Structure 1
Amino acid sequence: MTDQQTIHFCGFLVAGPVVHSHAIWRNPAHETPFLSLAHYAGIAKTLERGFFDFVFFADRLAIADRYNDSHEMGLRLGDQDATRMDPLPILGAMAAVTKHLGLGATRSTTYDAPFNIAREFATLDHISGGRAAWNVVTSMNDGEALNFGDVPHLNHDERYDRADEFMEVAFKLWDSWEPDALVLDRAAGVYADPAKVHYANHKGRWFQARGPLNIPRSPQGRPLIIQAGSSGRGKAFAARWSEVIFALQPNITRMTAFTKDVRAALETAGRAPDAAKVMMAMMPFIGDTRAEAEAKRDLHDSLIDPRVGLSTLAAHANSDFGALPLDATIDEIADTGSQGNLAALRSIAGGGSMTIADAGKIYGRGVMCPRLVGTAEDVADELIAIVDSGAADGFVISPAFLPDTFDTFVDKVVPILRARGRARTSYEAGSLRDRLGTAEARP
């Protein structure tokens, strides 16, 4: 690692009223038109102006209804799952208003078929000129299972076992067209060379897929693979497949430990320890003075009802703890859903007790996303220090308000990082994968 390592940046979004911050839709400064195309197109242009590597949308496939076994609280207060539009059509629109910004979306391996996923991302990669990214999730919630008639839900490790085979099939489909299979010889009337288009003929425990894909090989060959597994099994899956590993760790100690584990898992998987970029979530509050930044944070936090955080937490934990008193501790929540999130909450408690009400406040203000509060110089200093410590290769910037956070970050923090040689001043030629430097031989 050099002192002049370029820091990678991603913009984090949900196609709805809430990202990590549950205050976004309550912004007192202006409305947040999260149902409009112009909203997302404007954000894409801002991120490209700041030379971000990519944007990606988190997604889930159900309204949250685990808290008190009801969707009442989440819908009334506007939790993270109150509305989630499909991000793929939005990324197509973003592709039309940008030239370089990478475009990522979440798709589940539990409730889809490899052929559908391979086709969707091959299409996005073509129309964007090699900028597609797939955030791979396994889905964890009973609400999602009920929407697809698949009850009971697969257990944690079994979901990852299935996901491994899903990835194998998707890769076979993306590879079913050789790079030069598309001929387009107009004079001779030859569209493609059939000898260079191959059947996948996959027959496994979970999937059967003949192939080939009905789309020629895309500019990247396959989308950039993003993953955020934080359990032991999740890290093993990420180490096998990922090129970007997204992590939400609440403090530098856990960031450092997480990245160390990831590097070791990559080596265990037979890959170089730096084969995947580790990018940590951060929520910045930036002011001309530290006091102004703190006032922005305090205003933001004043808009959070802890019950909205509890609704999202219940969905992530896949556990109905609504019957527990608010002064009960989080140790009484069963580990049935997102194990990494509950472990992080216990880490925040530092060996002591954290009440369910406290957890709701933390979840509501940002789902444990660490916050950087200060001047643009302060924020730039902290980002550089984290990267130089070896705890991360870059950051997933999570907005407190939209588009406010991205506007301020791009206008005030990015110029400081550029002046210090830590952020790009232009986009390099090539694909998203080329710019991230993650190309390597794949399994």
Structure 2
Amino acid sequence: MRQMALVGFLQAQNCTQLASSWRHPESRNDSMSKGYYQRIAQVLEEGKFDLGFFDDRLAMPDMYGGDHAHTVQHGIRCVKMDPLTVLTVMGMATERLGLGATCSTTYFNPFDLARRFQTLDLMTDGRAAWNVVTSFNDGEAMNMGHDRHVAHDLRYDMADEFLEIVLGHWDAWEDGAIVQDKTTGLFAHPEKVHRLDYKGKFFKSRGPFTVPRSAQGHPVVIQAGASGRGTRFAARWAELVFTAYHDLESGKKSYAALKEAIAQKGRDPSKVKLTNLVWTVAAETKSEAEDKWALADSLVNETDALSLLAEVMNYDLSKKGLDDPFTDAELAELSGGQGHIDVVVRVTGRKNPTVRDFMEVTRRGHARDPFIGGPKEIADRMEQWFVEGACDGFVISATHVPGTYEEFVKFVVPELQRRGLFRKEYTGSTLREHLGLDRPENGAWRRYAG
């Protein structure tokens, strides 16, 4: 029986994806400690989650008003630590949980990124994953030594080359290359270690790579692009896709379209898992869950929403009134979050949406359409999305930490298990085994590189 994938959506920062979460009375206030992240990891592993995954940005959300004062004052993702380092701490506290982190193809070096993630994969016995992003805005660009962020489609052209280099390096060492024969003095077969010698339009990298393959071959590749160009990129490269469909019917259509795009690339759609972002508020009964939701939603303020929306749109929204439509010229300026722009135009039916339209459709700063209830209510909605073909699983986002994950594992996971929709035990040790993905052969990705 087909079973769903479950991913914990994490942040190495002072709050969850929900900027107000740090104000929740049940949120831990030690988000800069190892114990905080180890507890999250242990809860997710207890719930048999496939992986815990870190979103990331390379700048504070300071686009709104061109200043960081409101960001720091309100705690709007103002602390951002290195997620790979945090994953190492989490890996030491777990044995089976997959461990994923976001790193940008626009601002990192391909060889360095390949080495970091492949090392993590070895140190965790094949549990690592890399979420490929091209970054969002000028704040990230300036922090990384550039004046402006690169144009949207050009970033993905660069990312294609970046992936070719990373995957090429991950394939440098053949399985069985290392023998460590002390009698003959042979450490590894030279003919089984290959130099890349890559020269592209944007990047070049020589090799040979310095980290051998892991128990799962190499880290799982994750992608979450929602724009047309981002979807084409996912169809070519992704093994796990994060989606954020706004409703069941549009989710079913988008799911089918992306699976078809994957097939057109010559890839097996069943070997690419699509997991949809969902907020859950779980309790023993629906009424208790509704009370929990009322508390969490009351903590959000307008500054949170405007700041986070300005960040993803790469535009200072303090320049416009809430009900002022964007002009064609202004929409053309918005170099960040093209996927959000496409969705807002489609949902509202307005060629020139307003700031308020963006706030209401994207729900930045808010938990959008949460699944609220006891075990049955939440499992019913998850089962419907899963069975009717809108996703292969879910990315669980938190209103507070670690409570959201603890409540989901306590109340919802047993109900999913009872219905046969989710595993009762891990049956493998690597992330690929959890997800039902094949261990990649050397060079397999080259068949889909065009």
What is the correspondence of 1:28-427 to structure 2 with a 5 Å cutoff? 28-80=25-77, 82-329=78-325, 334=331, 335-346=334-345, 349=348, 356-357=355-356, 359-360=358-359, 362-366=363-367, 369-427=368-426
Shift of 1:289: 2.7
Residue-pair matches, total:
437
Shift of 1:387: 0.4
Cα offsets for 1:296-332 (capped at 9, x unmatched): 1111111111111110110100111212113335788
Shift of 1:154: 1.5
Work out the CA distance in 2 between the residues paired with 1:405 and 1:349. 31
Shift of 1:358: 6.8
Shift of 1:168: 0.4
Q: Which residue of 1 is the match for residue 9 of structure 2?
A: 12
Asked if 2 retains the 8 angstrom alpha-carbon contact of 1:245 and 1:276, the reply is yes
Work out the CA distance in 2 between the residues paired with 1:416 and 1:376. 6
Asked if 1 retains the 8 angstrom alpha-carbon contact of 2:121 and 2:127, the reply is yes
Work out the CA distance in 1 between the residues paired with 2:8 and 2:182. 42
Shift of 1:346: 4.5
Work out the CA distance in 1 between the residues paired with 2:349 and 2:370. 18
Cα offsets for 1:204-251 (capped at 9, x unmatched): 111111101111222222210000011111001011110000011222
Cα offsets for 1:269-318 (capped at 9, x unmatched): 22123231000001111133322222211111111111111101101001
Pair 331,276 (structure 1): closer, same or farther in 2 beyond 3 Å: farther
Shift of 1:268: 2.1
Shift of 1:193: 1.5
Shift of 1:149: 2.0
Asked if 2 retains the 8 angstrom alpha-carbon contact of 1:9 and 1:396, the reply is yes
Work out the CA distance in 2 between the residues paired with 1:330 and 1:417. 44
Q: Which residue of 2 is the match for residue 434 of structure 1?
A: 433
1:27 aligned to which of 20, 24, 27: 24
Pair 115,300 (structure 1): closer, same or farther in 2 beyond 3 Å: same
Shift of 1:442: 2.2
Work out the CA distance in 1 between the residues paired with 2:177 and 2:117. 19
Asked if 2 retains the 8 angstrom alpha-carbon contact of 1:74 and 1:312, the reply is no
Tell me, what secondary structure is at the counterpart of 1:280?
A: strand
Amino acid at match of 2:371: L
Tell me, what secondary structure is at the counterpart of 2:365?
A: helix
Work out the CA distance in 1 between the residues paired with 2:346 and 2:74. 27
Work out the CA distance in 1 between the residues paired with 2:249 and 2:73. 36
Asked if 1 retains the 8 angstrom alpha-carbon contact of 2:16 and 2:400, the reply is no
Amino acid at match of 1:72: A
Amino acid at match of 2:170: W
Tell me, what secondary structure is at the counterpart of 1:35?
A: coil
Shift of 1:170: 0.7
TM-score by length of 2: 0.92
Work out the CA distance in 2 between the residues paired with 1:388 and 1:232. 26
Work out the CA distance in 2 between the residues paired with 1:331 and 1:365. 26
Asked if 2 retains the 8 angstrom alpha-carbon contact of 1:46 and 1:407, the reply is yes
Shift of 1:152: 3.0
Tell me, what secondary structure is at the counterpart of 1:226?
A: strand
Asked if 1 retains the 8 angstrom alpha-carbon contact of 2:26 and 2:401, the reply is no
Tell me the percent identity: 40
Asked if 2 retains the 8 angstrom alpha-carbon contact of 1:330 and 1:359, the reply is no
Work out the CA distance in 1 between the residues paired with 2:38 and 2:153. 38
Work out the CA distance in 2 between the residues paired with 1:50 and 1:67. 38
Asked if 2 retains the 8 angstrom alpha-carbon contact of 1:283 and 1:371, the reply is yes
Asked if 1 retains the 8 angstrom alpha-carbon contact of 2:348 and 2:357, the reply is no
Amino acid at match of 1:343: D
Asked if 1 retains the 8 angstrom alpha-carbon contact of 2:227 and 2:342, the reply is no
Work out the CA distance in 1 between the residues paired with 2:214 and 2:261. 29
Work out the CA distance in 2 between the residues paired with 1:237 and 1:270. 14
Tell me, what secondary structure is at the counterpart of 1:395?
A: strand
Amino acid at match of 1:442: W
Tell me, what secondary structure is at the counterpart of 2:17?
A: coil
Tell me, what secondary structure is at the counterpart of 2:366?
A: helix
Shift of 1:29: 2.8
Shift of 1:109: 0.5
Asked if 2 retains the 8 angstrom alpha-carbon contact of 1:309 and 1:360, the reply is yes
Work out the CA distance in 1 between the residues paired with 2:107 and 2:431. 27
Shift of 1:61: 0.5
Pair 317,258 (structure 1): closer, same or farther in 2 beyond 3 Å: same
Amino acid at match of 1:432: L
Asked if 2 retains the 8 angstrom alpha-carbon contact of 1:249 and 1:370, the reply is no
Shift of 1:261: 1.9
